Chains A and B, each alone.
Chain A
């Protein structure tokens, strides 16, 4: 059954004339005329600081709603959902990886990964056969995080390890969309490359659509598509 406002399309992400400006501001911080991502596509979004990267993330994640235009994720027009429903949509369909400090210091590694199931019955159902904990441990292992780290407090992990745990949390339960906000900026070149390799491998294994935001143009070559955020038009 199609969700409310669904259209016949394969697009996982479709942005149509999206504009966003903060109340009281004269200019749009986000102005995207058209953007469509099919399932499994990887998009690199480049933008300097202040170019509206965070705002774009908040729009895609359904925290903010656009001042004008339409954002459709998996055929659903986010504007037709209430704020609570958008939060639920994010819990069920979107994984997020931040620049750093992704993990809650008072939870173990595995608990941090399974945290995203706390708010999503859909994810819990998806893992009903294997069990949430086992799925988390499998995912951590495939991200090269050994068992002895699974019960460790997260502040014992290196930054690179923490970022991989964050990827495991974002991917557990099979969300269709993964949003990564500068996930490599705290890593050195070696770690960054290894991280990206693992990220791509897991994303491809799940057939997930990836939106990767960074200020670093060097990374763009690894993605099928890239766009540039120009930021405020001043």
Chain B
């Protein structure tokens, strides 16, 4: 019961933050969508980090280290540290300046103006929404799977079905966290999400470090825990046979996805000034290290102990069997939910914002709606999306977690579009449209017919590869080549557009 009480207390604190942030709400659409560009360096760092880290940062990293060894850090964490900050520095700050100058709140508004094309907006909207929804599903389904074992045996009378073993069923967890996120997003808009994300980032970073310390102590100290891996499972201490060299290299393209996350675009726009980005750019790789290194070590220690459980249960099992502390179990549960919800809230808001600005306001005209009506529309669409996502999560689509890397690959395939939009004056509407269509075609071919891909590396590494490379390599190359080739042979954008987006 103690773990559940800690989690419930945490959810109540989040609701309180949402209500508190509502007191600062100025009532304008710009305040609801981008917090009136008022967020300073610390809150920007915490909200962006919380948004980019999902449940995978705690649960998935431990699970992957348990199956694949230490190479997971180089694949996912160190590349992300370098590439995410590069994208924030090279693209994020420019988009912030453009967005602030022209009053944009969504990517599609920017792309429509930059490429002088309504059609591109209509093409991008379903692609972006389609790539965000599986991401939401991963969060909701992941939350259900985390809470069930933590609460097992707590309510034997209420949930007697053997599948639940007296624990809280996933449908109830999904419903609860959907309602909590919905409420604080509803009242606080993006400012509420930023405040909540700051708290959630602190909680999940602390939970990981505390779990690491207590597990290491119970294993007899750091040296004894790692020596057991050296004796029983030495392959987990290196990459040979676990990760392919080309896979290791081409994973660098996956984190480019942050350049096209619509929810991250919106977070960038919350910044008070360009200088607010500085702390984020520098601290992001360090924060990734603080979260990931302990989890990787816990994962390999579990392998060294000879633990035999489903990979995604490794972190929970290590805490449950070694530490046996209801307080830590509850704190870890809250930490994992924090990582999940800190992504869900921004994604819910961005979908509401995109629907309002890119579909309704774009169709009926800017002057047709008051700010209050825009906020109402956004809130209504957020409720609609939450309900649809929740219902989809009840179906538990198969292989939903495998879909994660495909979503990231899709967003990464759109990166050439945004990079060219801010750096290449000559890029054209035809180039942008054909690149987007090309990306969609290649992505679908690889996704649906991945018989062209093959499993590589060690027996326990199920990563789908194309000629030893991550599929994103092919997707990105096709999108970039199409963009450049078509742009060079089609009519350049007007001088007005170029001067609007390029100063000097």
Q: Do A and B come from one complex?
A: no
Chain B contacts to A: CB under 8 angstroms: none
Chain A contacts to B: CB under 8 angstroms: none
